[in-house]
Chain A
Amino acid sequence: MSKVTFHGLPAWVGAIHSPTVCDWWSDDPAQMRWDRTLMNTIDLAMTPAAATAGRIKPAQIEADDFTGHGGRTTIGPLFPGGTSIGACWVSDHYLTKLGGKLRPGVRPGVSGHDYEWTFVQYFDGEQHNRRFYGFHANLVDTQNHLSLVQLWNPGTGAGSAKPAGAWWLDLAADTDPSAPPLTKNKPAPVMLDKDKIAHLNILEPKAPPFKGSFAFAP
């Protein structure tokens, strides 16, 4: 079983090398004097879908799939017609490859914890390609196998925003088994199953900030 962690970053495409390979900035290039040395190269075809199909190994994944293909990346997916400003969800392998040049904790204009911009994807094994998205959460109550959990919209957990709602969840079944369990009335990260989130009225993180969503309002 393999596990890959992804980090969501705003992305500005600065150069195109092939239909799927581009150089990109993780901050507004206009604020950085269009410094090309700050760009990073990525292949948007090196995705979880490619790994699931057996074309690459999970350790080779660089970015999440395009939003229209079940992922969260919104740049690309194919150039020159693809989107050039959006979000790029990159793997921890990719960050390691860059040698610390790109730091996921730095995002302009947001007030969320880093884990609200993180998700994990399993490959094979007992988790069967499941995906878990990070949220800021607070365990309020428990009853039988269900737990009442407050969840914040991604990007708002570190600010003064109220929770987006409270839901009765089966934490044993619906969260990443490798993550530490929640403690009552102690706000903490929780990694929720992607399929479970479909039942919640909660926003997905948007990047970069000016692309909208109240989560980024100053």
Chain B
Amino acid sequence: MRSLPDALDPADPLAPYRALLAQPRLTVISAEPDRELDGMARTIRGSVRIAGRAELEVLLGRLVAASAGAQIAPRTLDLLGHSTAHGALLRLGDWVIDAADPTVAAFFRALAAHGVLARLGITAVRLLGCRTSDTDAGRATICRLAELLGVEVFGTRHLLYDAHYDEAGFRDAWQFLLVSASDLARAAQPADVTAPATWPRTLDLDALPAFALAAAPTRWPRRQMTRGAVHQLLALIRRDAGGRLAARATAPSCELALPSAVPEQFHLAHVLFDGAFVRFYPDGPDGPVGSAAAGVLYPVDDPHELRRVTDALPLALR
């Protein structure tokens, strides 16, 4: 299994990366024990195997270093691997490219912030795994990556086989199988998916994202908590029993604004099922705050006491 290119000449460690930059496509293939992918890697000249996000980061970093002073031609970045069975999200080694995962979004956001794709002449990213545009999660990921990177991102509704590739990579003759983020943008919807974490999830109040209330409009009665009320709230919650709600969004009875360490910034939470649960948003508001996609539910030991505490709070300005 070929991994990141090794330098044949120790005096010029970037030579293999300059060779990659001479190609019209940069094909990156998931490194895993898999006969299909092994075969494709043998077929596609100059393809690179990577085992996850860290290796992709190293590869792109070395390519950027190798690009200094070089004539850069437009190219595509082709990411090739299997997709997850349920969400049809592309997987590179142990890394699932799921834009609903904040760490994935942060990675691509950082690529854009450093101008990595522009410096490498990459004008499009193609997610070449089976059915990567055939699910809500897949389409949302394609659209989100295009938004973050500022280039066109492609996926496919079809199954991809080794016959779709030749020594130059994904064959031009099969381009009709691909669909772009621009095509999907109108239909894209956020996926109801969860991020990888340790489950059940423990509530860490300080790690919750904070918002200015004016920038986070709400549809529900919003109650602004004092620090004393926050202590009362936390005493009522089983903080080590966080889990997703396996259902579509459930309307809360009220929204709680908990003061954060930053002045005028608040953590947001929702009271559900008549005070039996409180939902927090540790992964941030991917989608509207209040959607089932983003929240983690914690059970409340004494719902009656919770209602008493929250009912005594003043309503906050929307």
Contact = CB atoms under 8 A, between A and B. Distances in A.
Interface residues of A, number: 34
A196 B246 contact: yes
Contact of B247 (A162, A199, A212): A199
Contact of B277 (A143, A197, A201): A143
Given A148-B200, A199-B192, A201-B194, A165 B84 contact: no
A201 B33 contact: no
Contacts of B222: none
Interface in A163-214: 163-169, 174, 196-197, 199-206, 210-214
> Among the interface residues A164, A166, A218, which one has the most CB atoms of the partner chain B within 10 A?
A166
B297 A168 contact: yes
B86 A202 contact: yes
Contacts of A213: 82, 84-85
A186 B208 CA distance: 32
Could you say which interface size class chain B belongs to? 35 or more
Contact of B86 (A162, A201, A210): A201
A200 B193 CA distance: 6
A160 interface: no
B109 to A, nearest CB: 21
A150 B36 contact: no
Interface stretch (B59-67, B68-76, B235-243, B281-289): B235-243
Interface in B32-55: 32-37
A196 B297 CA distance: 17
Nearest to B195: A201
> Among the interface residues A162, A165, A167, A211, which one has the most CB atoms of the partner chain B within 10 A?
A165
16 contacts: A140-B241, A141-B200, A141-B299, A143-B276, A144-B273, A144-B276, A166-B199, A166-B201, A174-B246, A196-B247, A199-B248, A201-B87, A201-B137, A204-B85, A206-B85, A213-B84
Interface of B: 32-37, 82, 84-87, 91, 94, 137, 192-194, 197-201, 238, 241-248, 273, 276-277, 292, 297, 299-300
